[in-house]
Amino acid sequence: MKKYLFEEIPLSVPSDLSEMKSVFAQMLEDSEKSVISFINPEIFLAQEKNPLLHEYFKSTKYNFIDGINLLYAINKKLGTSYGTANRYPGTDFFDYLPDDRKLTVYLYGSKIENLEDAKLRIESEHPNVKIIEWTFGYTKFDGDFLIEKINAAQPDILIVCKGCPLQEQWIFENKEKLNAKIIFGNGGAVDFWSGNTKRAPDFMIQLGLEWLFRLGASFSFKRLCRQMKLVKFLVKYKRGEYDVRENFN
């Protein structure tokens, strides 16, 4: 697996799906918990202005690339030839898990109806995965009640889907208390897993245009403004201004 330091943020690029599965199999075997992320240009820009986010992404075990323009920026700087096959979206997470063992998952985030539908679809499509418990994303708990609830369920994997930066802040503040093997934030993934929010057609995903489909499917000026911020990233990477280093220690 190739590793890059993109500015100060470590990024990991597995060679193929088989290596991705091996990486996750190893994390599930490790004695220590692994906090990971799936990062895209929008999140990268957010961490530039948010010190907690910045520290979060610097400290994660792996930051997998969920955003084609991050790969294009590496290509521009280092002459590599990455494409959509090297992008690993968080919405495809269950495809990265090993198939030869039973795994338990705790979902925290989204609406109740989406959580219920996501559980049914995930367990149907991935028979070795069981959603053992979930918590409504808009519930507020005092103290350590939620952490105790999660730990009592003893999940292999904890997925927090409350959107960036809320999910990262919650994980960052509570990771030492949580006992899951793999912990990460995954934005609106539950909504996609439920089937209630549609993903882009395959050809748009392959062209790196999933963001455009989402913009059209649920247009708002707020979402449009978020997408317009990416122009800053595009301009900088086209000029080769981002500092990218390979094989850092």
Helix pair angle (68-78, 41-49), 10° resolution: 80
| pLDDT of amino acid 120 | 97
The domain total for the chain is: 1
Query: d(Cα 65, Cα 85) in Å, to the nearest integer?
Result: 11
Query: Residues with Cβ < 8 Å from 152, sequence gap 6 or more?
Result: none
- Enter the tokens of residue 207: 């062209």
| pLDDT of amino acid 235 | 86
- Enter the tokens of residue 186: 């995954």
**Phi then psi dihedrals of residue 160, to 5 deg:** -105, 115
CB of 1 closer than 8 Å to CB of 26: no
Query: d(Cα 88, Cα 73) in Å, to the nearest integer?
Result: 16
CB of 159 closer than 8 Å to CB of 91: no
| pLDDT of amino acid 196 | 85
Residues of the chain whose pLDDT is less than 70? 141-142, 199-201, 203-228, 248-249
| pLDDT of amino acid 218 | 63
Q: 218 in helix, strand or coil?
A: coil
Domain residue limits at 7: 2-246
Cis before 165? omega within 30: yes
CB of 64 closer than 8 Å to CB of 117: no
| Among 103, 79, 75, 85, CA closest to 18 | 85
pTM for the whole thing? 0.90
- Enter the tokens of residue 13: 């690029």
| pLDDT of amino acid 207 | 61
The string of pLDDT tens digits covering residues 21-62 is: 999 999 999 999 999 999 999 999 999 999 999 999 999 999
- Enter the tokens of residue 97: 């898990």
